[in-house]
Amino acid sequence: MAEKQATLPRLDLRALPGPDTIRRRELPNGIVILARENFASPSVVISGYLSVGALDERPEQAGLADLTASALLRGTRGRSFQQIFESLESIGASLGFGSGKHTTGFQGKSLAEDLGLILDLLCDALRMPTFPKRQVDRLRGEKLTSLAIRDQDTGARAQQVFHQLAYPNHPYSVPSDGFRETVEPLGPADLKSFHTEHYGPQGMVISVVGAVEAEAALEAVESRLGTWRNLRQMPQPPLPPVKPLRGIRRKRVVLRGKSQCDLVLGAPGPSRSDPDFLAAALGNSVLGRFGMMGRIGDAVREAEGLAYYAYSNLSGGTGPGPWQVMAGVNPANVERAIEIIRREIRRFVKRPITQQELLDNQANFIGRLPLQLESNEGVAAALVYVERHGLGLDYYRRYPDLVASLTREQVLQAARRFLHPDRLAIGVAGPPKDAS
C-alpha cells in the first residue's frame, strides 16, 4: 500500500474547501446557504438550485419546468425584461437559470461590490416572476425551434431512444425539454400555475464564493430570501424504481439525408449516493474516458478505425443515471462497432482492470481536483454538489484518500453490478441501412 500511495499526487489538503473555510447556515424556511471567502479575485459567484424540475410535470406538459425556468428573468413585478437585462449589462454581470429532472439550477457572477444587485435580481426572479405573454411566446418559439433541430440530430435522437429503452414507463425516459406537441400548447397561465405550486424555499440551496466575507454573504442572502414562504409548495414526487434490463433492447431511428450514425449503448447505473459510485466512476474512466478515451476509444476508434468518436459516460445523480457508451460511426460500421463495444464490456466485467490502469486513473482523479476547484465557479458548484448529495463539508479533503483506497476488485464489483454485455439498451439513429 505504501508503494502505491507514493505514486499518487500529494495535495495540500488545507488549500481545499473544508469545514473550517466553509460557512453553512440553514434558514427557518428551509433554505441552506453555503459561503466561502476568496479574496484572490475581485469577483463573487452564486450557484444553487431549487427542488423543482421535470419530475413535477404532468406527462402531457413535458418541457414545462424547462420553459418556466427560462422565463424567470423575462419580467418580474418590479422589473421588465429590458430593465433586468440592462442592470446586468451595466455592471458586466451574469445570471441564468436552467432546469433538469430533479432541480432548477441557477448561477450568477459579478464583482463583489455588486453582490447585492445579483441577489436582488435572483430574489425577484424566484419570488415574483410575471411571465409576460410576449416574452413567453418568444421563448416558446425558440424552444420549438430547438426541438426541431434536436429531432434531426442523430446524437440527440440516439440518446432519446436509449432512455426510452433503458427507462421504460419512467420519468427518465422523457427529455427534460419535452416534445413539440407538449411544448406548443404551453402559455403564461401554465407557467404561473407551475410556479405557484412548485417554487418555494423548501429544499433550496445557494452558495456564495468570492471576495465577500462569509458572514456578510450569509446575511445578504438571508435578508432577501429568509422571509420567502410558499404554503402551497408541493413536495416533489418520489422517483419510481428502475427495473433492471433482462436482455438486449434495441431500436433504430431513421433520419434521411444523414451521412453518420450515432449509437448509444448501456444500462441504468448507480445514483451518486450508491456506495459503489466512486468505484464505478473510476471504472468508467478506464472503460472509456482516460487518455484517448480508454479501452473503448482504443478498441473502436484507434485499433479498428470504425468511429469518429467513441467514449463512455457515467451520469450518477439523485437517481440511477445511465452508464453508457456513445459512438459516431459510418452507417456501414454500426454492427461491427456494437460488437466491439460489447466485447470490451464483456472483458471489463470478466476480470479486474490492471494495476497500471488503476494507478493511472487514481492519479488522474486526484491530480485534477485542484484544477476543478481553482475558480470561484468551480468552488461554488462544488459546495452545492456536496450539499445536494449529503457528502459532508470535509468531502474534498477526504477525497484523495477515498480514491487512493479503491481497489481493482471494487471496480470489478461495481462494473458487474451495472453492466452486462447481454443486458443492454441500444439506441441508433442515422440514415436507412440501404443508404450506405
Q: What pLDDT is attached to residue 326?
A: 97
Q: Is residue 238 part of a domain?
A: no
Q: What CATH number is given to the structural domain containing 317?
A: 3.30.830.10
Residues 72 and 121 in one domain: yes
Residues 326 and 194 in one domain: no
pLDDT higher than threshold 60 for residue 1? no
Its pTM stands at 0.94
Please, what is the average pLDDT of the chain? 96
Q: Is the dihedral of CA 184, 185, 189, 195 positive or negative?
A: negative
Specify the range with the lowest mean pLDDT, choosing from 257-261, 304-308, 428-432. Answer: 304-308
Residues 162 and 277 in one domain: no
Residues 208 and 288 in one domain: no
The share of the chain scoring above pLDDT 90, in percent, equals: 95
| Cα–Cα distance, 212 to 376 (Å, whole number) | 12
- The letter for the amino acid at 112 is A
Between the alpha carbon of residue 111 and those of residues 41, 100, 207, the distances in Å are: 9, 28, 16
Residues 264 and 154 in one domain: no
For 62-118, the pLDDT digits (tens) are: 999 999 999 999 999 999 999 999 999 999 999 999 999 999 999 999 999 999 999
Instruction: For residue 292, name the pLDDT band (cuts at 50, 70, 90).
Output: confident
Of 169, 191, 225, the residue that ends a domain is 225
Q: Is residue 231 part of a domain?
A: no
Q: Is residue 101 part of a domain?
A: yes
Cα–Cα nearest to 282, from 198, 182, 361: 361
Q: Is residue 10 part of a domain?
A: no
Residues 284 and 430 in one domain: yes
Number of other CB atoms surrounding residue 132 within 10 Å: 16
For 131-187, the pLDDT digits (tens) are: 999 999 999 999 999 999 999 999 999 999 999 999 999 999 999 999 999 999 999
Q: What pLDDT is attached to residue 3?
A: 42
pLDDT higher than threshold 70 for residue 198? yes
| Cα–Cα distance, 302 to 310 (Å, whole number) | 10
Between the alpha carbon of residue 352 and those of residues 39, 83, 294, 322, 412, the distances in Å are: 46, 59, 15, 22, 5
The answer to whether residues 220 and 115 touch, using CB atoms and an 8 Å cutoff, is yes
The answer to whether residues 29 and 57 touch, using CB atoms and an 8 Å cutoff, is no
Residues 262 and 390 in one domain: yes
Tell me the residue range of the domain where 315 lies: 249-435
* Number of domains forming the structure of the chain: 2
The answer to whether residues 84 and 77 touch, using CB atoms and an 8 Å cutoff, is no
The share of the chain scoring above pLDDT 70, in percent, equals: 98
Residues 220 and 294 in one domain: no
Residues 116 and 253 in one domain: no
What is the β-pairing status of strands 205-210 and 94-99? unpaired
Q: What pLDDT is attached to residue 435?
A: 58
Q: Is residue 232 part of a domain?
A: no
Residues 181 and 258 in one domain: no
Residues 211 and 256 in one domain: no
Q: What pLDDT is attached to residue 4?
A: 45
pLDDT higher than threshold 70 for residue 271? yes
| Cα–Cα distance, 69 to 264 (Å, whole number) | 28
Of 164, 190, 225, the residue that ends a domain is 225
pLDDT higher than threshold 60 for residue 48? yes
For 216-256, the pLDDT digits (tens) are: 999 999 999 999 999 999 999 999 999 999 999 999 999 99
Residues 77 and 180 in one domain: yes
